[in-house]
Structure 1
């Protein structure tokens, strides 16, 4: 099961995917709660055309339903608190929370709700869903790799996924920018998203 997506020209057929579902995922079928303390949702934006600015959201919640024998039945739900954005610079964080960008007073939460899940073979999965930012909802597909499962020292059964994708922020109404004297703009439209997901199986 994947959670957020990359673009692929070739789609794995359902028959092929079913035949190559990872045996590792088959053993962890069940309902899970995302562990925010060990989950990172990060982003990378190009700044002034010459360097990258990285950030993440520190407050989030979500659930997974994993079906290892039939990945198409897997689902994901995620809620991110936009006011928890951190880039390592307080002034920049404040600007991102303002009306120029995320308008966190008016739109406090970013959400993702899955609509489709599929196996790409082995430990690779794709999930497609609706991503909502600033009241704008658009489809997004994310390819994730299943990193495995383990029982932690506290007796929790955990699973992990990692993945990445790219979006154009303007498609969700994030259009603020400033022109540079040398040409180009201050903030890239293309944003890279990175995901490291840890989830605990429900009792």
Structure 2
């Protein structure tokens, strides 16, 4: 199902897909449901294993335009203080000035600038990711998981996906050398997104 604009085979032109009539019902604003969504990460530790964590506090909106999908947008705000890797001492270190400096930079944000269909229900959303007042472009590949009406009458829409970043690009450079060679924390970090969003009721 095409939610965003599809690029043509010719890179010099961009064509909009024919809108499926079913998309008209999806048009509108959606609020991300943090209790049924997850924004997390995976990073290599000591060169031999992976550490996984997530941010428990986040909020955001999706604006979908079924008539002109290229106008669809996404906006997400993540509270750094809510980081959780399951180890309190490690979480406190991540919040400290050596990593995120949560007291000085309490939020991580993403604002979309473009979206396109890669094929089927797979999409790429490009935007600006800001961490510690450093803003750099980020592309996220997402799979559209469909829609549903929950038992409370909420219209839901779901996406999941991931992308890789180099944390040093955003000023997250702390590390420690290992006696056997290599470093304690890899520069490469995988960001994971599992989003459930509720359609906002139109104002009367």
Q: Please give the TM-score of this superposition, normalised by the length of structure 2.
A: 0.89
Structure 1 residues 137, 88: CA separation in 2 closer, same or farther (over 3 Å shift)? Answer: same
- Give the aligned length: 194
Range that drifts further, 136-145 or 69-78: 69-78
The aligned runs of 1:16-165 (5 Å cut-off) are: 18-19=17-18, 25=23, 27-165=25-163
Q: Over the residues paired in the alignment, what is the CA RMSD in angstroms?
A: 2.0
| Residues 50/33 of structure 1: CA separation in 2 closer, same or farther (3 Å cut) | same
For 1:14, the equivalent position in structure 2 comes to 14
* Change over 3 Å in CA distance of 1:36–1:113 after alignment to 2: same
1:18 aligns to what SS in structure 2? coil
- CA spacing shift, 1:12–1:32, aligned 2, 3 Å: farther
Contact between 1:124 and 1:143, CA under 8 Å: does it hold in 2? Answer: yes
Q: How far does residue 127 in structure 1 lie from its aligned partner after superposition?
A: 1.0
Q: Structure 1 regions of 5+ residues with no counterpart?
A: 3-9
Q: Which has the larger radius of gyration?
A: 2
Deviation of 1:26 (Å): 5.1
- Tell me, in whole angstroms, the C-alpha distance in 1 between the residues paired with 2:179 and 2:173: 19
Bigger relative contact order, structure 1 or 2 (CA pairs below 8 A, ≥6 apart): 1
Deviations 1:8-40 (A, max 9, x none): xx979633x615x77765541111110010110
Contact 1:72 1:119 in 2 (8 A): no
3-state SS, counterpart of residue 14 of structure 1: coil
Q: Hey, what's the Cα distance between the residues in 2 that align with 1:105 and 1:42?
A: 20
- What is the TM-score normalised by the length of structure 1? 0.89
- Structure 1, 66-75 or 22-31: larger mean CA deviation: 22-31
Is the Cα contact below 8 Å between 1:150 and 1:157 reproduced in 2? yes
Taking the aligned partners of 1:63 and 1:57, their CA distance within structure 2 comes to: 17
Deviations 1:35-62 (A, max 9, x none): 0101100100000000000000000110
Partner of 1:6: none
